[in-house]
Amino acid sequence: MNLSTSGTILPDSPLGRALHDEHFRFERLVVSGIDNEPVLANNAPGQREEETCLFHDSVTSGDAYVALLANRIEMGIQKRAPLPVVRFADGEYAFYSGSLRCNGLYHQAESVAAIREAIPAHLRDIRYLTEHGVAAPLVFPGNVRRQSKLRSLFKKKNGNDMALRYLQLLAKNDLKLTASNYVPFYAVYAYLSSVRFAQAVEGKTVCIVNSDYNAPACAEWFERAGSRPKLVHVPISPSYVATRWDSMREDAFRAVPEQVDCFMVGAGVGALQICVDMARRYSAPAIDSGHILNMMNDLERKSQGPRLFTFRR
């Protein structure tokens, strides 16, 4: 993987060049109170590798990353500041590679042509995200491995360089991950599933932008943590938000109450554009919440079971 023995990404490696930065390293993400063993026991053994992720050298621990994210979101709520927080993983990586492999759990794109047409708008929103928000890509040793030319000639790609190709796309468009705009993918799950988040939205208006909404189940989710936010729902299509958001945007805006303190968004690859637009228009944090919303709605099966960094001891 072109890593030094200490785990630091070498600047002349593909990953180092894609990041445009020498100050990231791989380290295991450990968050106090989180127990991944129930998830790892049921999933493929290789998933344990996903616990190791990119750390900026200025951040010392997993707890520090969760606290950093929490502080930014809570400050955004208090000061009514636009703050999109967006995760990127296999679906997004396939989408930005122009592949219909993005259509995994959900219908993300109807054709390769539709993906190509949508990508310029996505890149504009990624630029806004890196300048004003928080990007949380899933980058771990298992998805930045280069395939040999021989393997790529005779075998189908198995996705083990998907994050690397995504990071190279960022570099090509002069988009950089930095200490101020990056957190690990799973830090978002760890914060959203915490009592701290529930307490941060106590008495606040939380707008859930999603195709599913089970009001009693969502209220109970927060009540278990001693929190009672005002929950409102903006319904969106379950399909093709990533390629058709421009035609959906105004209907979604009309459904948003006047005063929202925080948005929780579930829209697959389309969450990027929704989070950026909601954050920018309503001056509030807009968090790509994905699997957490499935948990809140008692629909964990839609995520094909539990996910890492969502189980509390």
**Contact in structure between 308 and 39 (CB atoms under 8 Å):** yes
On the question of pLDDT at 59 being above 60, the answer is: yes
- Return the SS3 of 232: strand
**Predicted local confidence at residue 313, as pLDDT:** 65
**Confidence at 46, pLDDT banded by 50, 70, 90:** confident
Q: For 253-277, write each residue's pLDDT tens digit.
A: 999 988 999 999 999 999 999 999 9
On the question of pLDDT at 153 being above 80, the answer is: no
Per DSSP, the chain holds a count of helices (H) and strands (E) of: 13, 8
On the question of pLDDT at 154 being above 50, the answer is: no
Distance CA 94, CA 270 (A): 13
Q: How much is the average pLDDT of 241-263?
A: 95
**Confidence at 2, pLDDT banded by 50, 70, 90:** very low
**Contact in structure between 200 and 70 (CB atoms under 8 Å):** yes
On the question of pLDDT at 12 being above 70, the answer is: no
Where residue 111 falls (left for φ over 0; alpha for ψ -120 to 50; beta otherwise) is beta
Strand pairing class (24-28; 52-56):
antiparallel
**Contact in structure between 173 and 128 (CB atoms under 8 Å):** no
Tell me which of 25-39, 95-109, 158-172, 287-301 is least confident. Answer: 158-172
Distance CA 40, CA 38 (A): 6
The closest alpha carbon to 27, from 2, 1, 60, belongs to: 60
48 is written with which tokens? 């344990």
Torsion angle in degrees (nearest 10) through CA of 112, 114, 120, 123: -70
**Contact in structure between 250 and 277 (CB atoms under 8 Å):** no
180 is written with which tokens? 């101020």
Where residue 4 falls (left for φ over 0; alpha for ψ -120 to 50; beta otherwise) is beta
State percent of the chain over pLDDT 70.
88
Name the more confident of 92 and 153. Answer: 92
214 is written with which tokens? 């089970």
Q: Please give the backbone phi and psi of residue 45, each rounded to the nearest 5 degrees, phi first.
A: -55, -30
Distance CA 236, CA 5 (A): 47
On the question of pLDDT at 195 being above 60, the answer is: yes
| Residues 158-180 as b or e (16 or more Cβ within 10 Å = b) | ebebbbbbbbbbbbeeebbbeee
Q: How much is the average pLDDT of 141-147?
A: 80
Tell me which of 8-12, 28-32, 92-96 is least confident. Answer: 8-12
**Confidence at 22, pLDDT banded by 50, 70, 90:** low
Q: How much is the average pLDDT of 210-217?
A: 96
Residue type at 252 in one-letter notation: A
In residues, how long is the chain? 313
Q: How much is the average pLDDT of 296-311?
A: 84
On the question of pLDDT at 105 being above 50, the answer is: yes
Distance CA 189, CA 184 (A): 10
**Predicted local confidence at residue 312, as pLDDT:** 76
